[in-house]
Amino acid sequence: MNPVVIALFPVFGVIALGWVLRRSGLVAAPLWGGINRLSYQALMPAFLFITISRADYASVPAGSFMLAAAGGFIAMGVIMLAFRLLPMPGPVYTSLFQGGVRWNGFVLLALAPAAFGEEGAALAALAFAPTVPLVNVMCVAVMTVWGKSDHAPNLTRVGIRLVTNPIIIGCLAGLAANFAGVFQSGPGADTLDLAGRASLPLILLTIGAGLDFTSLRARPGLISLSVTAKLLIAPAVFYALGLLFGVEGVALAVLVGIGATPGAAAAYVLAREMGGDAEMMAGHVTATTLLAAITMPIWIAIAAL
């Protein structure tokens, strides 16, 4: 069996488990808040820190990889801006834009060690540092122009939230530790390693718990369009940029993997806060999560050819 498919099996298996837990009431919907908070605020930053601080970036084309990754998101932003020409209300358009641009890096992080080895996992983690703020700035800008919220968007609050984002802090601190050559081994690093390992299964469970199949009925035509942008156009764009920047081998496979990830639940939160179409966003995240189980291995296999 294809190693990427084998690596994806536990990832989507745990996502399915999360959905079953919420659907069956074994862990009811309101109880997921604490799990979410602990995963994103404590465990995932620890995971990103330790993965990045221990990585050997001298042996991988990290520079061209990062340029291609950032370029991929900017290119997707430009492509999604072109969709504004289609007749649709502003709030709906913001959700279409977010659908094409936002990525769920946690799926790739969970898949990376088994599918790409340590080198690929380190690159996947590194991609978070510049792309999380980049994608957020693009989405907030679009929401500010075309979103429809009862209250004016508080850009200062959004800015503070970005600067204090634990994911970004974890990445940057890990990068600083990597450059300084500190905190890569010893009891402290082992503690972060142990804590960080819990982050991925928990986040995958919360992704599953957040799936909402009824939301697929909201604007099926536009959801199809956003899914096409996320699962077909984005990976092709990242692939093309990878070739353009001379990225190859494992790095190219990870780069295309970034493009091929499903949509992120953060898009739903922002749509709700800043006047987008939250239900359409939920439908997009659900549809891309399901379909990515099929499209991700295909795209990664194409990149590995």
Partner 1 sequence: MTLHILAVFFPAFVLVALGYALRRWQVIPDGQWRGINLLNYRVLLPCVLFVTIARADLTQAGALPVIALSAGGILLALALSLGVARLLKATARETAALVAVCCVWNVVLFFTLADRLQGAISVQWTGTIAAPALVLATIIIVMAFAGTREGGMRKALPALARDPVLIACLLAVATALIWPLVPPVLPAEAVDTLLSPLDLAGYGSLALVLICMGAGLDFAALQGRIRLLLSAAAIRSVAIPLAVLAGAGLIGVNGNAETLLVLATGGPSAAFVYAVATEFDGETGLTAGMITLTVLVSAIALPVLTALTLLG
Judged by beta carbon, residue 29 or residue 160, the one nearer partner 1 is 29
Q: Residue 261 phi/psi, 5° resolution?
A: -65, 155
Judged by beta carbon, residue 8 or residue 255, the one nearer partner 1 is 8
Q: Does 106 bind partner 1 (CB under 8 A)?
A: no
Interacting residue with partner 1 among 71, 130, 166, 201 (CB under 8 A) = 201
Q: Does 2 bind partner 1 (CB under 8 A)?
A: no
Q: Does 113 bind partner 1 (CB under 8 A)?
A: no
Q: Does 193 bind partner 1 (CB under 8 A)?
A: yes
Q: Does 42 bind partner 1 (CB under 8 A)?
A: yes
Interacting residue with partner 1 among 138, 202, 225, 237 (CB under 8 A) = 202
Structure tokens at 250: 């494992």
CA distances from 54 to 82, 191, 205 (A): 41, 14, 26
Site for partner 1 in 172-191 (CB under 8 A): 186-187, 190-191
Nearest to 253 by CA among 108, 139, 129: 108
Q: Does 291 bind partner 1 (CB under 8 A)?
A: no
Interacting residue with partner 1 among 79, 195, 290, 298 (CB under 8 A) = 195
Site for partner 1 in 49-78 (CB under 8 A): none
Alpha carbon 245 to chain centroid distance? 22
Q: Which residues bind partner 1 (CB under 8 A)?
A: 1, 6, 9-11, 13-14, 16-17, 21, 26-28, 30-35, 37-38, 41-43, 110, 186-187, 190-191, 193-198, 200-202, 204-205
